[in-house]
């Protein structure tokens, strides 16, 4: 069941839960290069991000996510929320170029990871040059 998004105040970028590091570290350790079916390999990219879905009611808070990796086409993340697959919205995060960026996206994976945490992925509706290698 989808819980309501949290109504949160922005927090400092260094406010990163220790649980997130533990989960991401375990995911990295268990990752197999043979199992990676992506045509373009994502680079590690860890920032706190805020997600809003177009289906959220007016005045709803943001869904807080912690990115794992990213490329021009999308990003992996962990969150405390079971998010609805196929829903569109936008993610706001600090891009590698240092700019706060809002990107329209669509959720395509969200599954249990550890305890009350979920692992997921989203794709950007348009490629994002800031996350690619030139």
Residue 13 lies inside a defined structural domain of this protein: no
Q: pLDDT at position 81, please?
A: 94
Residue 33 lies inside a defined structural domain of this protein: no
Q: How far is CA 27 from CA 22, 24, 30, 73, in A?
A: 9, 5, 5, 21
Residue 16 lies inside a defined structural domain of this protein: no
Residue 66's contacts (CB-CB under 8 Å, 6 or more residues apart) are 16, 17, 20, 24, 46, 47, 48, 49, 77, 78, 79
d(CA 133, CA 131): 7
Question: What is the average pLDDT across 34-48?
Answer: 70
Residue 6 lies inside a defined structural domain of this protein: no
Name the residue among 115, 118, 71, 125 with its Cα closest to residue 95.
71
Residue 51 lies inside a defined structural domain of this protein: yes
What's the pLDDT tens digit per position in 105-129?
999 999 998 889 999 999 999 999 9
Residue 12 lies inside a defined structural domain of this protein: no
Extract the runs of DSSP E, i.e. beta strands, from the chain.
43-44, 48-53, 63-70, 74-79, 88-94, 100-114, 117-124
Q: pLDDT at position 10, please?
A: 41
Residue 5 lies inside a defined structural domain of this protein: no
* CB-count exposure of residue 18 (10 Å: 0-12, 13-18, 19+): exposed
Residue 57: how many other CB atoms lie within 10 Å: 7
pLDDT surpassing 50 at residue 134: no
pLDDT surpassing 70 at residue 29: no
Q: Per mean pLDDT, which range of 8-12, 77-81, 101-105 is the poorest?
A: 8-12
Q: pLDDT at position 19, please?
A: 78
pLDDT surpassing 60 at residue 20: yes
* Residue-wise DSSP of 5-23: PB------TT---HHHHHH
Number of independent structural domains in the chain: 1
Residue 75 lies inside a defined structural domain of this protein: yes
What's the pLDDT tens digit per position in 43-93?
899 999 999 999 999 999 999 999 999 999 999 999 999 999 999 999 999
Q: What is the CATH number of the domain that holds 70?
A: 2.40.10.220
Residue ranges making up the domain that contains 72:
42-125
């Amino acid at each position: 069941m989808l819980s309501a998004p949290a109504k949160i105040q922005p927090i400092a970028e260094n406010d990163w839960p220790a649980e997130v590091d533990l989960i991401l570290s375990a995911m990295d350790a268990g990752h197999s290069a043979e199992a990676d079916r992506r045509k373009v390999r994502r680079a590690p990219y860890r920032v706190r991000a805020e997600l809003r879905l177009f289906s959220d009611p007016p005045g709803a808070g943001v869904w807080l996510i912690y990115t794992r990796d990213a490329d021009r086409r999308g990003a992996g993340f962990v969150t405390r929320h079971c998010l609805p697959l196929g829903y569109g919205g936008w993610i706001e995060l600090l891009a590698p170029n240092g700019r706060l960026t809002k990107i329209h996206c669509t959720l395509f994976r969200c599954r249990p990871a550890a305890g009350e945490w979920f692992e997921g992925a989203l794709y950007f509706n348009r490629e994002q040059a800031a996350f690619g290698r030139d």
